[in-house]
Amino acid sequence: MIGIDWGTSSFRAYRLAADGRILDRVAREAGILAIPAGGFPAALEAAIGPWLAAGERRVLLCGMVGSRQGWVEAPYLPCPAGPAEIAAALTRIPYDQAELLLVPGLSTRDAGGVPDVMRGEETKLIGLLAALGSAPALACLPGTHSKWARLEGGRIAGFATQMTGELRAVLLAHSILGRMAEEGPTVEAAFRRGVRRAGEAGGLLHQLFGTRGLGLMGELLPAETSSYLSGLLIGHELRAVLAEAPPAGPIHLAGAEALAAAYALAFAECGLDWRMQDPDLAAHGLHLIAETLA
């Protein structure tokens, strides 16, 4: 079978053996935002045409390709959901060369009844379930919108999104904090200082301005500012999540390398235990969903 994680800005396809081993892979920049109207079939064929020609007949797709801006919109499936619920809710895309099946995104509601959604991350979480089994676990998938999920009984019980990554980006690009920041490599000490700062009184809105105060007084260098801000925001994210759902075991962490490393550093600074997970979780998840289906 073929598994595809097709997001807003990237395309990753895996050719998978019956036992789930990755036989081949293709990664492209062709995220859904780069696809012209009606261009999805051609983009798919350009990427995995040779595998289809070699006889592959089943393709599972997850990610923003199933959003309103994607190929076909797949409705959200409410939590709790595991491989069986997801396999029963696949959306078929009309296509003549293979069976194209779209994985639904998931929805949930928090304690206040406010809805939350994910699209693409559910497949990575299913991949994590394949490794962890049915024991309760807490997973962290950092990104523009970080996802924290509770896994229970072999299903995704619920999750919460944190707008950390996007907030960091808009503050650096468009606020007074960006004007005092100088681009450069991560400064680990400044990042850790930001994480610790999140544990102090005053609240995030005050502490954001404190970044400016430190800069004005020469107590935070321009080259340290973006690292400190990352630490501050991730520190607030962490404290909010842990206040809600303190982990019984290690936090299972999976994400792009640099970002996952930053979260690992924040976990270490807060004395939390974590496990870095396989970057190919989406492939494992797509395989497990297809197996459930077969």
Which range in 58-66, 125-133, 204-212, 275-283 contacts its own copies by CB under 8 A? Answer: 204-212
In this complex, which beta carbon is closest to its own copies, that of residue 125 or of residue 241? Answer: 241
Residue 236 contacts its own copies per CB under 8 A: yes
Residue 116 contacts its own copies per CB under 8 A: yes
The least distance separating its own copies from the CB of residue 53, rounded to whole angstroms, comes to 39
Residue 206 contacts its own copies per CB under 8 A: yes
Tokens of 169: 């980006």
In this complex, which beta carbon is closest to its own copies, that of residue 160 or of residue 281? Answer: 160
Q: Which of 26, 131, 240, 272 binds its own copies (CB under 8 A)?
A: 240
Q: Which of 91, 97, 175, 186 binds its own copies (CB under 8 A)?
A: 175
Tell me the residue length of the chain.
Answer: 294
The least distance separating its own copies from the CB of residue 117, rounded to whole angstroms, comes to 6
The least distance separating its own copies from the CB of residue 104, rounded to whole angstroms, comes to 14
Residue 79 contacts its own copies per CB under 8 A: no
In this complex, which beta carbon is closest to its own copies, that of residue 124 or of residue 197? Answer: 197
Residue 153 contacts its own copies per CB under 8 A: no
Residue 170 contacts its own copies per CB under 8 A: yes
Residue 233 contacts its own copies per CB under 8 A: yes
Residues numbered 83 to 112 that lie near its own copies (CB under 8 A) are 107, 110-112
Residue 243 contacts its own copies per CB under 8 A: yes
DSSP states along 120-149: SHHHHHHHHHHHHTTS-EEEEE-SSSEEEE
Please identify which residue in the block is written with the tokens 């693409």.
120
Sign of the CA dihedral running 226, 230, 231, 232: positive
Alpha carbons 105 and 110: distance in angstroms, whole number: 17
Q: Which of 55, 185, 203, 246 binds its own copies (CB under 8 A)?
A: 203
Residue 207 contacts its own copies per CB under 8 A: yes
Residue 244 contacts its own copies per CB under 8 A: yes
Q: Which of 237, 247, 269, 286 binds its own copies (CB under 8 A)?
A: 237
Q: Which residues bind its own copies (CB under 8 A)?
A: 107, 110-112, 114-117, 145, 160-164, 166-167, 170-171, 173-176, 197, 200-210, 213-214, 216-217, 219, 233, 236-237, 239-241, 243-244
